[in-house]
Structure 1
Amino acid sequence: MDKQTKMIWERLDNASKVIGGVQKQLGEIGEFSKGMKDLSNVLKSPKLRGGLGEQLLYEILANALPKELYRMQYKFRDGSVCDAAIVTKDVIIPIDAKFSMENFKLMLDAETDEERERVKKEFIRDVKVRIDEIASKYILPEEGTADHAIMYIPSENVFYELIVNTPQIEEYSKKRSVTLASPNTLTYILRSFLLAYRQYELQQHAGEILKALGGIAIEAGRFSGELEVLDGHIGRTVKSMDNVKTKFGKLTGKIESVQALGEVENVPMLADGADADKE
């Protein structure tokens, strides 16, 4: 009985420890949730959220393009500043990242369909205003810009809402020559641009490349001729070396023959000397 009681208490003690550990983890999760809520409250500030959007835009540009092909905070002659721009010697493509999220968030939090539709109309109006502002402020062909600009939307779900569920926005943006881009689509656009730019640069320098290749071909021909001459010299040198080896071999054979003859002549002389001693 005492043994069973002891086992029960041990199990209860282990259970208590497990429960304590779970409570501790729940407390940590609660702290994490509180931290996330605090972060969410911080990001409610349009200024802070806008700064985060610009930072994410900068990282996308830095990962997709060489430094010489883009600028952050591009300034126009009238003092207007665009968040970023793709810059080449022939064209400038403005990219704007100032996007209003307040009404989109209200639309998601709406409790009734009527409220949701009302807020959605305001959200659509905000987006159109932003599109008009980008088109009027940043599409400036007289300053070397392209006839299109990019409106960067820093959220994939917002982009989806605009493209899929709000077709009038896509139509309006096309009419105003403003391309909507989420983080993923912007990355695709930048990579496509870089590929086209490199092909263009290759075509622009095709004449110089062909001229350089022609020069290389001439130098290769000269080198081939010199290589043939060197090959002839080496061949003759090898032949001369073979002749020298042959003659040296013959000379060595003659020397060995003379040495052998001398040894043969010395043998009788030694024998005669031995006979004289005996007499």
Structure 2
Amino acid sequence: MTDLLSEPILRLGASVFTLGQLLAFGGALLLALFLVLVAALWRSAKARAEAALEAANRAGEADARMTAILQSQAEMQGRMGAMAEVFGSRQAELTQSLSQRLDAMTGRLGQTMTEQTKSTHESLAKLQERLAVIDTAQGNIQSLAGQVVQLQAILSNKQTRGAFGQSRMEAIVADGLPHGAYEFQATLSNGNRPDCLVKMPNGSPSLVIDAKFPLEAWNAIRAAEGTEASKLAAQAFRRDVEIHIRDISEKYLINGETQDTAFMFVPSESVFSEIHENFEALVHRAHRARVVIVSPSLLMLSIQVIQAILKDARMREQAHLIQGEVIRLMEDVSRLDERVRKLQVHFGQTARDIDDILVSSNKVTRRGQKIEALEFGDGHADETPAAPPPLPARTAESKTGQLRLRVVEERE
């Protein structure tokens, strides 16, 4: 309660008033008003008393005026008591209203503080999550930076750079061609050793692929700052590429041993596109020197075309074997047809023989029935035996079919 009374709730200009000060000021103000009223009433009563005395001195009105003054004094005392009660009740109501407002304000302040605390905790939790994500991303960035530094170190070293381009080229060739259709670091008749030699079919000359692209000059262009430095780096890059194109043309293009065109492998698509966009003269010079600049995607496409050519050549090599097998297959089919026809003739002769056998068996059966029907007794000698009924046609056919099936099974 003391903290609430000392809390500032009103500011007038540069002055700040607390609840206790306002309550004290209100009480003092009420007391001052009460005293002013008492003083005013007292002065009025005093004036009336003096007038009454003066009137008493003048005449016989003193008693009546004194009575009136006393009555007025009593009335004033009653009014002052009523006013004191009113002021007391008003002060109690004001105190109660201020207490209620302070309680409501305290409740709202507490609720607001709770909500702000909850919101602050949630914000801190989200901030911690984001900081964790940022830490993870920072770790990834540091790892990537390390890998970039390693790649830069690889590309800055000539031997390592050559191994990098060689490994990419070897992976593309080995994935696209069968084993034995290519050779890495093969030695030509002039003693030079290209990075890859692709063997073409039908005794055609081999295709040479070179992977030692001069990336140092290209890295110098990327690292150059200023127009003059960029111009000098571009000139150095153009000179190095022209020298490399000339070396490929002079060392690896051998008449009758290699193809008339060689591949210069660029191990980066961005470098390949930059050459065709900003160094078009180098591309034309390479074409005149019968050297084709290829990127990883173009080399992969070329290897797929060579693979299709090799497959077609292998199919053509096997075509005469397939044709011979087809001829022998047709001979086997002819022999099978001949044997089936012979078997059909045998089946026909067997069917005719079976029909003759059935005729003979029918005759024998009828004769046996006649002999069985003969009776040697009195009164019955003249009776003629009844002829046996003929065999049904279906029964004969079924027996013929069974005999044919039996003959076929015995032959098999």
TM-score by length of 1: 0.74
Which residue of the partner structure matches residue 33 of structure 1?
144
Which residue of the partner structure matches residue 176 of structure 2?
64
Q: 1:68 is paired with a residue of what secondary structure?
A: coil
Identity of aligned residues (%): 20
Which residue of the partner structure matches residue 177 of structure 1?
290
d(CA) in 2 for partners of 1:15, 1:74 = 62
Tell me how far 1:129 sits from its aligned partner: 0.7
d(CA) in 2 for partners of 1:39, 1:26 = 20
Is 1:126 aligned with 2:126? no
d(CA) in 2 for partners of 1:58, 1:173 = 23
Which residue of the partner structure matches residue 101 of structure 1?
215
Would the alpha carbon gap of residues 113 and 209 (structure 1) be closer, same or farther in structure 2, given more than 3 Å must change? farther
| Equivalent position amino acid for 1:106 in 2 | A
d(CA) in 1 for partners of 2:346, 2:175 = 55
Which residue of the partner structure matches residue 199 of structure 2?
87
d(CA) in 1 for partners of 2:192, 2:295 = 23
Would the alpha carbon gap of residues 168 and 224 (structure 1) be closer, same or farther in structure 2, given more than 3 Å must change? farther
Which residue of the partner structure matches residue 141 of structure 1?
255
d(CA) in 2 for partners of 1:37, 1:193 = 35
Tell me how far 1:192 sits from its aligned partner: 1.5
Q: 1:74 is paired with a residue of what secondary structure?
A: coil
Which residue of the partner structure matches residue 227 of structure 2?
113
Is 1:219 aligned with 2:332? yes
| Equivalent position amino acid for 2:271 in 1 | V
Q: 1:81 is paired with a residue of what secondary structure?
A: coil
Aligned length in residues: 242
d(CA) in 1 for partners of 2:277, 2:183 = 31
Q: 1:154 is paired with a residue of what secondary structure?
A: coil
d(CA) in 2 for partners of 1:5, 1:71 = 74
Which residue of the partner structure matches residue 90 of structure 2?
none
Would the alpha carbon gap of residues 11 and 87 (structure 1) be closer, same or farther in structure 2, given more than 3 Å must change? same
Which residue of the partner structure matches residue 187 of structure 2?
75
d(CA) in 1 for partners of 2:198, 2:217 = 30
Which residue of the partner structure matches residue 253 of structure 1?
none
Would the alpha carbon gap of residues 168 and 235 (structure 1) be closer, same or farther in structure 2, given more than 3 Å must change? farther
Tell me how far 1:127 sits from its aligned partner: 1.0
Note the residue ranges of structure 1 that are not aligned, 5 or more in a row.
247-279
Would the alpha carbon gap of residues 133 and 18 (structure 1) be closer, same or farther in structure 2, given more than 3 Å must change? same
Q: 1:82 is paired with a residue of what secondary structure?
A: coil
TM-score by length of 2: 0.52
d(CA) in 1 for partners of 2:277, 2:338 = 68
Q: 2:259 is paired with a residue of what secondary structure?
A: coil
Cα RMSD, aligned residues only: 3.2
Deviates more, 1:47-56 or 1:218-227: 218-227
Q: 1:71 is paired with a residue of what secondary structure?
A: strand
The structure with higher relative contact order (CA 8 Å, sep 6+) is 1
| Equivalent position amino acid for 1:123 in 2 | F
Note the residue ranges of structure 2 that are not aligned, 5 or more in a row.
1-109, 359-412
| Equivalent position amino acid for 1:11 in 2 | E
